[in-house]
Chain A
Amino acid sequence: EAGVTQSPTHLIKTRGQQATLRCSPISGHTSVYWYQQALGLGLQFLLWYDEGEERNRGNFPPRFSGRQFPNYSSELNVNALELEDSALYLCASSLRAPGGVRYGYTFGSGTRLTVV
């Protein structure tokens, strides 16, 4: 079974540009979560998609947005990039509760975004 896949692995952008990060969940998982992990900080919750809809977003500005496609894959878009957006962006997927509760989330390897 393929795990959660994210692309690209690394991304370098200039301040003010836009970045698009992609995530494919494990087959059968309908929920996709996005987290930001800045250097030295914990995982900060960004967005949660389930069944194509945004279910919840964390305390991030509106320039962080995304969507979930009918095949449950997801995109994270970051507009007007700032230097402090440099971080590892992790995507995770899960089954809908109750089946998914026991095993939490399965994470992808992340996209390392560097803003210069």
Chain B
Amino acid sequence: GQNIDQPTEMTATEGAIVQINCTYQTSGFNGLFWYQQHAGEAPTFLSYNVLDGLEEKGRFSSFLSRSKGYSYLLLKELQMKDSASYLCAVKGGATNKLIFGTGTLLAVQP
């Protein structure tokens, strides 16, 4: 089976840096995704990692260690609009579908 763990909630200050961790267990691995979801809206794609290392995209970066079953999403220069849920999702298993963690609700404070 697949299991994905991430913190339920985090709080950070505007302008700061925050790291959201995700650990996973899967019987097959074909990539890890991060999505952002504002309240009442659809999840939107942020990043994709399939090889170990860091992927940088503007203020957002995502890191993957396949041997440790670990990923993090790094958000720099936080803005108020970054307040949202951040969903870690793993593609793998017998059917290769995308399985989501419960999400981390990030609150950015002034």
Residue numbers of A with Cβ under 8 A of B are 4, 33, 35, 41-43, 45, 48, 55-56, 90, 92, 97, 101-110
Contact = CB atoms under 8 A, between A and B. Distances in A.
Contact of A104 (B41, B91, B101, B102): B91
A104 B87 contact: no
Contact of A109 (B42, B89, B97, B98): B42
A101 B31 contact: yes
A102 to B, nearest CB: 6
A55 B102 CA distance: 24
Q: Chain B: interface residue count, which band? A: 20 to 34
B97 A33 contact: yes
Contacts of B43: 43, 90, 107
A55 B91 CA distance: 15
Contacts of B91: 101, 104
Contacts of B35: 104, 107
Nearest to A103: B45
Interface of B: 30-31, 33, 35, 41-45, 48, 50, 87, 89, 91, 95-103
Grouping DSSP codes into helix (H, G, I), strand (E, B) and loop, the B interface class, with mixed when no group exceeds half, is strand
Specify the main secondary structure of chain A where it touches its partner. Answer: mixed
Given A104-B45, A106-B45, A42 B95 contact: no
Contacts of B101: 42
Given A48-B95, A55-B95, A90 B102 contact: no
A35 B87 CA distance: 14
A45 B99 contact: yes
A107 B42 contact: yes
A43 B35 CA distance: 11
